[in-house]
Structure formats: structure tokens, C-alpha cells
Amino acid sequence: MSTLGPRLWTILLLLLSIVVLLIVQLVLRRRKGPAPEIRPLAAFQDLRDELAQAAESGRAIHVALGSGGLTGEDAGVSLAALRVVDGLVDNAVSYRVPLIVSVGDPTLLPLAQDALRRAYERRGLAELYNPGWVRFVAPSPLAYAAGAAIITADPAVATNIVAGSFGAEATLLADAGIRRELAQVAAVTTPGAAGALYAATDRLAVGEELFAAGALISSERRYLAGLFTQDVLRVVLVVAILVSAVVALVSG
């Protein structure tokens, strides 16, 4: 019983914190005025400039979403990568910059196509949408990276964005971008991918930063509110763990 009390107390504290944070998120999403301030992510801060430069040169931006899909252990990473596309696509349509999206899993193909199609429809430019801009390359990580590197090497591409489920095979994409001296932005979660991309770009987001990228790119209140809530919840969890440890130490 000496350890049951602190555990129950900690669980109740966590449940209460989650309820409060959900209420805060709903209030932030409905509230008018400035969006909540959140931590910056340097890797994605200058993407508007990249879009403007691509528009001036008449070239496209390549977004490589990796080999993850919606049915495996990388589903969360793949959804976060799709959020990057969602955050980019409206600005890309405004600048008339094509987004070439490459995927290594067929489950991402219709979702990426739908994100692009809806963006063009929102702008009243449905006739300009090209479903061929979203390409399923290959089902294996190495074959996908090799095919995506070919897209990166295309002179029609101005910027290379790598976001999603990657391993060391990301070296192929990084090398293709280096050879063309492209601006490269990356957000990955595995040590192999981070090591492969570290030498290729100083605009590298690692780990949980990938899950924040879409919200920061889009700057939409609903996404920023969710990200702000996650940051606060992370602090609450750390405090709850420390309090639980102290209570268990005192009572034991």
C-alpha cells in the first residue's frame, strides 16, 4: 500500500493535467487574435524564401517522404511528413511552384495527391493540378532513395526537402543535392538518417522536431495550438515524474 498511494496520486495528477491541457487547446483554437507563440525550428524558417526563389526560376520543389507508410511502425513519422506537405502546399500554389512529392509506400500516394488537389481547389486553380507530381518510386528503402535521388538531380528541381522515414540510404539524396548545390532541408527521426544528412545541410531537424515541422510551416492556429499543448504536456509529465519520485521516496 505504501507505493500504491503515490502511483494513484500520480495517475490522477496526469489525468487532471491532460484534461486541463485539452481545454486550453480548445480555447486557443477558438480564440481570436495572435496565435500562441511556440519554440522556433530553424530548419524550416526560410522555406518561404525558397518558394519565392523557385517561383522566380520557374523550377519545382522536391519533397521526399521516405519509405514509411500508414500500416507499419513508422506510421506516425509518415503522418508527420505528410503534415509538412500540407504546410507547404498552399504557399506553393500561391507562388505557382509545383511540389514534386516522392513516396516509397503506396499508402502515402493517395493522401499526398489529395493534399495537393485540395490546395489547388481552394485557390480556384483545380485545372492546374497534376496528379503526376506525386510519385511512388519503389517499395524498398534503398531503391526508393536511389529513385528519389534521380528526381533531386533533375535540373527542374530548385530545392530538396527530406522529411519522413529514412535510414542511412538518405545519403543518396543528400549526395544528389550536394552535386547540384541545392538548398536542402531535412527532418528525420533515426540516427542513421541524421548522420547521413548532417554533412549535407545545416538545416536539419531531428527526432521530435519532425512532428513540429508541419505546424510551424503552415502557421495555422489549430496546428500551433496543438503543438503548444504538446510542449506544455511534456513539461507537465516531467514534473509529474519528479513529484512521483519524491513522494515514493518520502513514503517509502
pLDDT at position 212: 74
Quick one: angle between helices 75-94 and 109-122, nearest 10?
30
Q: Which of 153, 124, 192, 198 is nearest to 62 (CA)?
A: 153
pLDDT at position 72: 81
Q: Biggest alpha carbon distance in the chain?
A: 70
pLDDT at position 4: 47
- In this structure, what is the dihedral angle of CA atoms 102, 106, 111, 113, given to the nearest 10 degrees? 50
In tens digits, the chain (252 residues) has pLDDT values of: 444 455 665 666 666 666 665 655 555 555 555 554 555 667 777 777 888 889 889 999 999 999 999 988 889 899 989 988 988 898 899 899 999 999 999 999 999 999 999 999 999 999 999 999 999 999 999 999 999 999 999 999 999 999 999 999 999 999 999 999 998 999 999 999 999 999 888 889 888 778 777 666 765 555 555 566 566 666 666 776 777 677 667 766
pLDDT at position 202: 87
Beta strands 134-136 and 204-206 are unpaired
- CB neighbour burial string for 156-175, b if at least 16 within 10 angstroms, e if fewer: ebbbbbbbbbbbbbbbbbbb
- The residues that bridge with 159 in the sheet, in sequence order, are 61, 183
pLDDT at position 47: 78
**CA 51/CA 71 separation, integer angstroms:** 32
